[in-house]
Chain A
Amino acid sequence: MENKQFVTVNNVKVPLEGEKNILELLRKININLPTFCYHSELSVYGACRLCVVEVEGRGVMAACSTSPWPEMVIKTHSSELRKIRKMSIELLLAGHDQSCPTCHRSDSCKLRMLASQFGIEKSRFLSKKKEEALDYSSPSLVRDPNKCVLCGDCVRFCREVQGIGVLDFAHRGPNAKVCTAFDQGIGGTECINCGGCATVCPTGAIAPAYQHDAVWDILSDSSKLVVAQVAPAVRSTIGEMFGFKEGTDLTGKMTSALRLVGFQKVYDTAFAADLTVLEEAKEFLDKFVNGKKLPLFTSCCPAWVKYAEQYLPEKLDQVSTCKSPQQMFGSVLKDYLARELGKRREDIVVVSVMPCTAKKFEAKRDEFKVDGNPDVDYVITTHELGLMIKEAGIRMEELESSAMDMPMGLGSGSALLFGNSGGVTEAVVRHLGRAVGPVENVEKDSSVKGVVKIAAEVAGKKVKLAVVQGLNALNSLLESGEEFHLVEVMACPGGCIGGAGAPQSEKQRKELIEARTEGLANIDRQNVLKTANDNPFVAKVHAELSQDEHRVHKLLHTHYHARTRVQEEGVSVLKGEEGALEVKVCIGTGCFLKGSQDLLKELLNSAETQSWGKRVDIKATFCMEKCGTGPNVLVDGESVPLATIDKLVASIDGKLAQKVKV
């Protein structure tokens, strides 16, 4: 301790304590330099040039990408630095759409805030950019390229946290832009809808897709029973929009506000989370006791589910068949409560309030519809609910608390923990502790970024669990080959409370997530119901449902299928004449690895030797969504699974012979 080293900042001595860059050092002493492109969880980019400092003997340097050294002398706001920052902001403004009053990020836009903080009264530079169309192709996100300032935060988030890379920089110089491959709509890409890009976007260039206008409309339709289900994370984040401290529990006020907005019933998604725990624990025990394939992956996070469908089709049979709490709630409510209230399915409208953009996509999936009617009709984010409350002029701060409607308005403490990373695991373990036997010798290991490994003994048996945040972390875990019994996967860092549906906040990400997590932990502490078994209403519904296995399966479970990442025709390999027999060989990742390329080559050879000539048209296509049986080939629309060249030649010859007859 005696050999402490120091840096001088604006004439003040500051001890060096292993900060990785000057920016972190300055934050320690409460100087918050402006930055667009610095996020502590992402790689350092150094592009926005707003965090510049003057280093004696070295000149102007970017604080985010410079490590501090002993005896360094730093100035943070000399007149030269002020000029540079102002100029940078002005230039950023020049390339930016300036429709601020009508932008939904207006109250949380970093660019707008910085412009006012630095006293930019007008932008001297005119934009030469052509206006681009907005991208509404995704149910979860909207892209407005005109508001992009090219900070690259979204590009790095998608690549580094989710390991996907839907977005990247394209073109060059003044034409440079952030876009998807081939600049297609984001809805048609491999995007998993997590919305992490929208969370890190400093402006309104990528934002959650809003649906609350439609909810207002349905609320004024008197022929419908409009009910709300509210996810655990919403109650501890919505306060941020009304001046409450991060993590404040607003369950009661929020419930009152929902009623004032016009919802006829207010229910708790935590109710369905309790149901999920019961079913998932049952599924886990079955696999564990009977030596079936493990680990079991959780299925609550729809972004992770889409990821698994696209990138890990061979693991889909290990993903829990339990519907997510949102969907379980929707199906149980529309089936069970519909009868109780004597309403038709079509006349009940379920609106979910979620901290998540991927839930918007999930609700639209075909798996979750009955005769075209969705189990969940609308999904709005926490932020959208906040906007509705504000629009209605409700004074949240002054509101009396009220309780949710029963029976589906009650959740145990462990169900509420679903809102943060590790919560599902905690709930399952608590349940096993009650249902199976004591949980002992719990050891946690958080040494790997984004992963918590838990070893415990349940009723004397060793169980290994992993809690993962971010899909890149999951990839590393899978590559490590380490074996687990249960793996909880959440796409968003922090879990649902870090979701893209939460209100935007100026707070540093890490502190924010800690505060919100603590908020939910507090709610759990105060809840007398600790596990799903403690919840009398859940026990009743579950017992009743359990009498009919078929209904349990229909209402609480589902199956996911392999999904292609590339929505297009494929490569023409051998062009046939009009009306030729169409042969499509899959060259998606799974089939590619199983040798579909060689199969194509052999097929071309056969085309010559069998003298098919122009009667056959061969195409190499992308994933056929049947990865389990690769290599997959379609001959005249008919599937040839586990294709070999002999099988194909026989099939093609057969089809050609048939054609001749016709």
Chain B
Amino acid sequence: MCKCQCNKSDLPAEGRSFNEVVKILKKHDYDEHKLIPILQEVQEEYRYLPRSVLNFIATALKVPASRIYGVATFYGHFALEPKGKYVVKICNGTACHVKGSMKIYDAIKNRLGLGENEGTTPDMLFTVETVSCLGACGLAPVMLINDKVYGSLTAEKSVSALEEVLKAEGGKDE
């Protein structure tokens, strides 16, 4: 299992990602004003924004790395730490919050054994985070596991949804 040492260099699909970054930069004409779409597309590729890639983007765009770091940390969408294979997004918008979304959040974190400031399981399988609104207030409380929507949740329902994923992964979490 990958421990923290290998996370740094454990990049997907040999060479493809770096070439993709070069392509993304070219597509946007190395224009510093397109930094946000560039970062979005790069994150799509790596699932997060690796530090060395951000440094490369800084060199290529001739922008200080501090500026890129500033933009990447300003928006909640950007992640500087690798995310798990499954990203669980628990909606904490007004409607979901009122209907007890934090209980779901706690239940899921509890099931995965994540502490207060931990968002990703050590095996890189799950990342748990809250989002401000998923725009599905009618289904409140609601959560996403990657692209799949789970609505009208209770703490129990959310954990059983999680169990299904775990089962599919062959109980790697245990």
The residue that B15 contacts in the complex, of A159, A183, A573, with Cβ under 8 A, is A573
The residue that A165 contacts in the complex, of B9, B50, B60, B64, with Cβ under 8 A, is B64
Residues of A within 8 A of B (CB): 159, 164-172, 179-183, 190, 566, 568-575, 587-589, 592, 597, 600-601, 604, 607, 618, 620, 622
Interface class of chain B by DSSP: helix
Chain B: interface residue total (CB-CB under 8 A): 30
How many whole Å from A573's CB to the nearest CB in chain B?
A: 5
A to B CB contacts below 8 Å, 17 in the list = A165-B67, A170-B66, A172-B74, A181-B64, A181-B68, A566-B55, A569-B9, A570-B52, A571-B50, A571-B52, A571-B56, A572-B9, A572-B18, A573-B14, A574-B14, A600-B22, A622-B55
> Which residue of chain B is the closest to A597 with respect to CB atoms?
B22
Contact with A along B65-98 (1 / 0, CB 8 A): 1111110011000001000000000000000000
A181 to B56, CA, bound (A): 13
Q: Let me know if B15 and A571 touch, CB within 8 A.
A: no
> Which residue of chain A is the closest to B59 with respect to CB atoms?
A589
A170 to B53, CA, bound (A): 18
> Which residue of chain A is the closest to B62 with respect to CB atoms?
A589
Q: Let me know if B52 and A164 touch, CB within 8 A.
A: no
The residue that B14 contacts in the complex, of A167, A183, A575, with Cβ under 8 A, is A575
The residue that A181 contacts in the complex, of B14, B62, B69, with Cβ under 8 A, is B69
The residue that A170 contacts in the complex, of B14, B22, B69, with Cβ under 8 A, is B69
Residues of B within 8 A of A (CB): 8-9, 11, 14-15, 18-19, 22, 50-56, 58-60, 62-70, 73-74, 80
How many whole Å from A632's CB to the nearest CB in chain B?
A: 14
**B22, B63, B66, B70: residue with the most chain A Cβ atoms closer than 10 Å:** B66
* Chain A neighbourhood of B70, CB < 8 A: 168-170
* Chain A neighbourhood of B8, CB < 8 A: 569
* Chain B neighbourhood of A168, CB < 8 A: 64, 66-67, 69-70
The residue that B52 contacts in the complex, of A183, A569, A575, A600, with Cβ under 8 A, is A569
Q: Let me know if B74 and A587 touch, CB within 8 A.
A: no
Q: Let me know if B51 and A568 touch, CB within 8 A.
A: yes
* Pairs A-B, 6 closest by C-beta atoms: A165-B64, A181-B65, A168-B66, A181-B66, A168-B70, A181-B69
* Chain A neighbourhood of B56, CB < 8 A: 571, 587, 620, 622
* Chain A neighbourhood of B60, CB < 8 A: 592
Q: Let me know if B66 and A180 touch, CB within 8 A.
A: yes
Q: Let me know if A588 and B18 touch, CB within 8 A.
A: no
> Which residue of chain B is the closest to A168 with respect to CB atoms?
B66
* Chain A neighbourhood of B68, CB < 8 A: 181
* Chain A neighbourhood of B9, CB < 8 A: 569, 572, 575
* Chain A neighbourhood of B11, CB < 8 A: 571-572, 575
* Chain B neighbourhood of A170, CB < 8 A: 66, 69-70, 73-74
The residue that B59 contacts in the complex, of A164, A169, A569, A592, with Cβ under 8 A, is A592
**B14, B64, B68: residue with the most chain A Cβ atoms closer than 10 Å:** B64
How many whole Å from A313's CB to the nearest CB in chain B?
A: 14
How many whole Å from B12's CB to the nearest CB in chain A?
A: 10
Q: Let me know if A171 and B73 touch, CB within 8 A.
A: yes
A166 to B69, CA, bound (A): 11
> Which residue of chain B is the closest to A587 with respect to CB atoms?
B56
* Chain A neighbourhood of B14, CB < 8 A: 573-575
A43 to B67, CA, bound (A): 17
Q: Let me know if A172 and B15 touch, CB within 8 A.
A: no
* Chain B neighbourhood of A167, CB < 8 A: 66
Q: Let me know if A573 and B18 touch, CB within 8 A.
A: yes
How many whole Å from A163's CB to the nearest CB in chain B?
A: 9
Q: Let me know if A159 and B64 touch, CB within 8 A.
A: yes
How many whole Å from B32's CB to the nearest CB in chain A?
A: 12
A607 to B59, CA, bound (A): 26
A570 to B67, CA, bound (A): 19
The residue that A179 contacts in the complex, of B15, B66, B74, with Cβ under 8 A, is B66
The residue that A166 contacts in the complex, of B50, B54, B66, B74, with Cβ under 8 A, is B66
Given the known inter-chain contacts A169-B70, A170-B69, A574-B14, please indicate yes or no for A588 contacting B59, CB distance below 8 A: yes
How many whole Å from B10's CB to the nearest CB in chain A?
A: 8
Extra A-B contacts (12), CB below 8 Å, given A164-B64, A183-B69, A587-B59: A168-B69, A170-B69, A172-B74, A181-B54, A181-B66, A181-B69, A190-B64, A568-B51, A589-B62, A600-B18, A607-B15, A622-B56
How many whole Å from A173's CB to the nearest CB in chain B?
A: 10
Q: Let me know if A182 and B51 touch, CB within 8 A.
A: yes
> Which residue of chain B is the closest to A605 with respect to CB atoms?
B15
Q: Let me know if B65 and A566 touch, CB within 8 A.
A: yes
How many whole Å from B132's CB to the nearest CB in chain A?
A: 13
The residue that B58 contacts in the complex, of A171, A181, A597, A620, with Cβ under 8 A, is A181
* Chain A neighbourhood of B62, CB < 8 A: 589
> Which residue of chain B is the closest to A607 with respect to CB atoms?
B15
Q: Let me know if B64 and A182 touch, CB within 8 A.
A: no
A25 to B52, CA, bound (A): 48
How many whole Å from B164's CB to the nearest CB in chain A?
A: 32
* Chain B neighbourhood of A569, CB < 8 A: 8-9, 52
Q: Let me know if B66 and A171 touch, CB within 8 A.
A: no
How many whole Å from B81's CB to the nearest CB in chain A?
A: 12
* Chain B neighbourhood of A179, CB < 8 A: 66, 69
